[in-house]
Amino acid sequence: MRPAASGPCMPIRILPDELVDQIAAGEVIERPASVVKELVENSLDAGARRIQIDVEQGGIGLIRVRDDGSGILASELAVALSRHATSKISSQDDLAGVVTLGFRGEALPSMASVSRFRIISGVRGDDRGAEIVAEGGTLSPVAPAAPMTGTTVEVRDLFYNIPARRKFVRSVATEIGAILRLVERLALARPEVAFRLRHGERTLLEAGAPASGASDARAARIDAVLGREFREHALPLAQAAGPIAVSGWIGAPTAARARADLQFCFVNGRPVRDRLLMNAVRLGYRDVLYHGRHPGYVLDLAIDPTLVDVNAHPQKLELRFRDSRQVHDFLFRAVERALAATRPLGLASAAAVPDPDAPGPGPGASAVAGADWNASRFESRLVVMPRRADSLRVAEADPRAGFDWRALRSTESVLDPELAERPLGRALAQLHGIYVLAETSDGLILVDMHAAHERVLYEQMKRSLDAGSMPSQRLLAPLSVALRPHEVDHVLEHQAEWEAAGFELERLSPSELVVRSVPAALAREDIAALLRAAVEDMENGDGRHHLDGAAHRLLGTLACRSAIRAHRSLSLAEMDALLRQMEATDRADQCNHGRPTWARIGLAELDRLFLRGR
């Protein structure tokens, strides 16, 4: 292939303005959604309280954005359409601490050069408005218009004069989907502003302004945009440290989704999709997520504007932080800390039983571990009622003891003060060798014993590891374990992690390891089998998705492989011990793979099953 520069050269010359504008437009205006973004951001910068967006044919036919913001003076309309004209900054100093969404002065001229374009605007108190029309970048003179407060911008026939770009526009459904997602993001970013998005005759999004004095406009806006379910399965988060603060909601790990479509992050009111921030949140979920699943979150970061550069990306989606490590660690810790609270402790206060007469959650809803608890803990719609006096007490908590039918007829009230203090209740039985059944003060609990034990072990070992004191136990006689040569290599490559985990091992031969010490917590396990299983998991990369850091990954694997297996029968004492450990363990609501560890069926739900109290 011949380099383009060879052959008869064209003379060097300055490109006509129109072409320059069109080339520049390519950076800012990629598709209809970019037009919507720039226009709505301008409205927000103009202090609008109400923004109406009307779209036709996926935005290719028409995009009209109407606001009630400050408006543009007739004398400035033409300037607003020239390149690099902005009212938002005037010096380099302004740029360093910019708080408006726009500041490059590129959007309006870019749009005007690739569409049939019109602005009508008026300033409050002025007795006339003004309008200006542009076609493919050619401006007509400013003309008078009816008085108004605010601005309406119309962009018609987008890319009509750039067929090459037009070809890249996708189907109406795809483009309108992108527009909707964008408006959702902006509406979440600015709960104090009313938004309406219509496509043709259909209203796609309607989010009113919060009632004056509403205590939590953000919560109401999240419910309006994402639906109520999101917050029902989310934990609130609010933390601050020095120049940074974060607030919002993070989805319970058990409510994680197959797609990463519910992740919203705002920095000083600007929607961003910044990799550093997304990674920090992801890391906060590192060992509570079912692999391949994505958490939902709506997070609002406030950071001193001089510590963040928003001018690192033409669409300003990526940011540059003065101290990115600090921001990353702050966010990661905040998420991790909030998630550590997902343990069954809260149940004690959830002796608050939902009013059986009120339309409660459906039978499926309350059976999700964590989610139920989260909802009851953070929402005040649950009513606290005195504990039921007629709860049926199973004699001696031994399922094998004969059932005392007389107890059914007894009207004597049975109150067990002990139970109220045990969120996960008292073990009654093991079901199918998989689940522990426990009675609580307000219903019953089912625990997946393997999943629960795995989490308990993992957290225990992780604490020791992080404290640098993994209790290790020397074997009476060294144990030799036969592995395939590449497995031996693999273990020795990660020797530091194995040692940190409490193992002491070395190569005996190309296909044999000798183990001298093991983690004390695992001393009673079949070490050879455990070692083989762990090597296999690590080689397959199991765990890589959800556990971070090789050492934690190894612990996760060890915990999973040594946690009680299905079909091992447990005594009631052992089951009770497991329940107590869960209550004391961070993140006990889900196993290392993100599966729930327990579920609850409340008395109210049991009553519903048997039509009691109806």
Cβ proximity to Mg ion, 119 vs 224, nearer residue: 119
- Best CA proximity match to 46, nearest among 133, 141, 134, 119: 119
Task: Phi first, then psi: give them for residue 318, nearest 5 degrees.
Answer: -100, 150
3-state secondary structure of 577: helix
Smallest distance from the beta carbon of 36 to ligand ADP, in angstroms? Answer: 13
Instruction: Quote the least distance from Cβ 41 to ligand ADP, whole Å.
Output: 7
In the list ligand ADP, Mg ion, none, the entry touching 271 (Cβ below 5 to 8 angstroms by class) is none
Phi-psi category of 81—alpha, beta or left, where left has phi over 0 and alpha has psi -120 to 50? alpha
Note whether 354 binds Mg ion by CB under 5 A: no
Scanning 38-46, 241-249, 256-264, 490-498 for contacts with ligand ADP by CB under 6 A, the matching segment is 38-46
Stretch that binds ligand ADP, among 66-74, 211-219, 407-415, 501-509 (CB under 6 A): 66-74
Other Cβ atoms within 10 Å of 400 Cβ, number: 6
User: Closer to ligand ADP at the Cβ: 43 or 268?
Assistant: 43
Instruction: Tell me which residue has tokens 């790990």.
Output: 253
At residue 517, the 3 state secondary structure works out as strand
Q: Which of the stretches 106-114, 261-269, 319-327, 328-336 binds ligand ADP when contact is defined by CB under 6 A? A: 106-114
Cα–Cα distance between 331 and 281 in angstroms, integer? 7
Q: What is the C-alpha to C-alpha distance for residues 534 and 196, in angstroms, rounded to an integer? A: 54
CA dihedral 79, 81, 86, 87 (to 10 degrees): 60
Q: Is 267 in the site for Mg ion (CB under 5 A)?
A: no
Assess 107 for contact with ligand ADP (CB under 6 A): yes
**Residue 234, Ramachandran bin (φ over 0: left; ψ between -120 and 50: alpha; else beta):** beta
3-state secondary structure of 496: helix
Stretch near ligand ADP under the rule CB under 6 A, chosen from 62-70, 207-215, 226-234, 488-496 = 62-70
Q: How far apart are CB 31 and ligand ADP at their closest, in Å?
A: 17
Residue 88 interacting with ligand ADP (CB under 6 A): yes
CB of 42 to Mg ion, least distance (A): 4
One of 151, 440, 460, 581 touching ligand ADP (CB under 6 A): 151
Stretch that binds Mg ion, among 96-104, 243-251, 491-499, 568-576 (CB under 5 A): 96-104
Residues in the interface with Mg ion (CB under 5 A) total: 3
Q: Tokens in use for 418?
A: 């002990």
User: Is residue 43 a contact residue for Mg ion (CB under 5 A)?
Assistant: no
36 vs 527, beta carbon nearer Mg ion: 36
Q: Which stretch binds ligand ADP (CB under 6 A): 65-73, 195-203, 284-292, 380-388?
A: 65-73
Whichever of 97 and 433 has its CB closer to ligand ADP, that residue is 97
Nearest by Cα to 337 from 289, 298, 284:
284
Give the H or E element holding residue 457: helix 449-466
Encoding tokens for residue 611?
A: 């039509």
* Residues 6 or more apart whose Cβ sits within 8 Å of residue 505: 491, 495, 498, 513, 514, 515, 516
Residue written as token pair 């296999």:
536
Least distance from ligand ADP to the Cβ atom of residue 148, Å? 11
Question: Is residue 191 a contact partner of residue 199, using CB atoms and an 8 Å limit?
Answer: no
Strands 194-199 and 50-56 turn out to be parallel
Work out what residue 342 binds among Mg ion, ligand ADP, none; the CB cut-off runs from 5 to 8 Å by kind. Answer: none
* Residue nearer to Mg ion on the CB measure, 100 or 374: 100
Q: How many CA atoms lie within 13 A of 227 on its CB side?
A: 5
Cβ proximity to Mg ion: between 42 and 597 the closer is 42
Closest separation between CB of residue 222 and ligand ADP, Å?
Answer: 26
CB-closest chain residue to ligand ADP? 102
Rounded to a whole number of angstroms, the minimum distance from the CB of residue 248 to ligand ADP is: 26
CB of 44: closest distance to ligand ADP in angstroms?
A: 9
Take residue 39 and report the two structure tokens written for it: 């226009």
For position 137 contacting ligand ADP by CB under 6 A, the verdict is: no
Residue nearer to ligand ADP on the CB measure, 116 or 580: 116
Among 35, 53, 62, 72, binds ligand ADP (CB under 6 A): 72
Site for ligand ADP contains 253 (CB under 6 A): no
Q: Give the residue among 302, 299, 318 at the shortest CA–CA distance from 310.
A: 318
Rounded Cα distance, 300 and 269, in Å: 7
> Is 426 an interacting residue with respect to ligand ADP (CB under 6 A)?
no
Minimum distance from residue 107 beta carbon to ligand ADP (Å): 3
Q: Does 102 bind Mg ion (CB under 5 A)?
A: yes
Crossing angle (nearest 10°) for helices 550-562 and 449-466: 140
Packing angle, helices 324-340 and 275-284, rounded to 10: 30
Single out the segment in contact with ligand ADP by CB under 6 A; choices: 84-92, 212-220, 378-386, 552-560.
84-92
* Residue 566 to residue 458: CA distance in whole angstroms: 18
65: amino acid identity, one letter: V
Q: What is the largest CA-CA distance in the chain?
A: 106
- Selected binder of ligand ADP within 42, 263, 374, 441 (CB under 6 A): 42
- Identify which of 17, 15, 16 has the alpha carbon closest to the alpha carbon of residue 110: 17
Q: Give the nearer residue to Mg ion in terms of CB position, either 319 or 538.
A: 319
| Candidate residues 57, 87, 324, 495; the one interacting with ligand ADP per rule CB under 6 A | 87
User: Is the CB of 313 or the CB of 595 nearer to ligand ADP?
Assistant: 313
Q: Is 541 left (phi over 0), alpha (psi -120 to 50) or beta?
A: left
CB 144 within 8 A of CB 122: no
Is residue 107 a contact residue for Mg ion (CB under 5 A)?
A: yes
Q: Given the rule CB under 6 A, which of 83-91, 156-164, 208-216, 469-477 is the region that contacts ligand ADP?
A: 83-91
CB of 311 to ligand ADP, least distance (A): 11
- Give least dist CB 35 to Mg ion, A: 11
Out of 51, 60, 68, 70, the only residue in the binding site for ligand ADP (CB under 6 A) is: 70
> From CA 223, how far away is CA 215, in angstroms rounded?
14
Which tokens in the block code for residue 101?
């969404």
Q: Is 42 in the site for Mg ion (CB under 5 A)?
A: yes
Give the C-alpha distances (Å, rounded to integers) separating 489 from 408, 469, 492, 507. Answer: 64, 26, 5, 9
Say whether residue 103 binds ligand ADP (CB under 6 A): yes
Q: Taking the complex as a whole, how short is the minimal distance between the CB of residue 127 and ligand ADP, in angstroms?
A: 19
Q: Which residues bind ligand ADP (CB under 6 A)?
A: 38, 42-43, 46, 67, 69-72, 80, 85-88, 102-108, 151
Instruction: Give the interface with Mg ion as residue ranges (CB under 5 A).
Output: 42, 102, 107
